[in-house]
Amino acid sequence: MSEEKTGGEDTGRVLQKLKDLMDYAEPQLDKFPRPEKGYAGLATKIRMCFNTMAERTMDTQKCYYAKSTLKELNELDKEIQYAKFYVERAKKKGILDFKKFDIMSDYLDQIGKMTGSWIGKVKESAKEQEKSNGTK
């Protein structure tokens, strides 16, 4: 499967949005209270989610088949959900104010929509490829 079918341009767009989110979030995460910066703290969990999201996005570039691409994209989608959960927890604990929470949530929503669109494109191209392979 070519880069076009697995979403080469989608990878770049999602990665750029992730970089923007990480650049915005890093100073906010540095301001978390010390207990939340530790091994099991919210700041660490949010950072881990963002890093895993970036890794999953980059992993899709190495997927040559729709099935493996979809697997990576579904894992990316799960990480987005985890990140949303942890960011919401930080807001409820009073660590993030509403404006910062809103900006981070908006980034995560945009990345989620891009990922959903990407999943749809990959599924569609897989169906088209199945049809063309079946008619030969």
pLDDT in tens, 63-111: 888 888 999 999 999 999 999 999 999 999 999 999 999 999 999 999 9
pLDDT band at 128 (very low <50, low <70, confident <90, very high): confident
Report the SS3 class of residue 2.
Answer: coil
Sorted by sequence, the CB contacts under 8 Å of residue 15 that are 6+ apart come out as 54, 57, 58
pLDDT for residue 1: 40
Neighbours of 80 (CB within 10 A): 24
Residue 119 φ/ψ, nearest 5 degrees: -60, -45
Of the CA atoms within 13 Å of residue 29, those in its CB half-sphere come to: 22
pLDDT band at 28 (very low <50, low <70, confident <90, very high): very high
pLDDT at 4 over 50: no
CATH classification code of 3-134: 1.20.1440.60
Q: What percent of the chain has pLDDT over 70?
A: 92
Who has greater pLDDT, 14 or 128? 14
pLDDT for residue 125: 85
pLDDT band at 131 (very low <50, low <70, confident <90, very high): confident
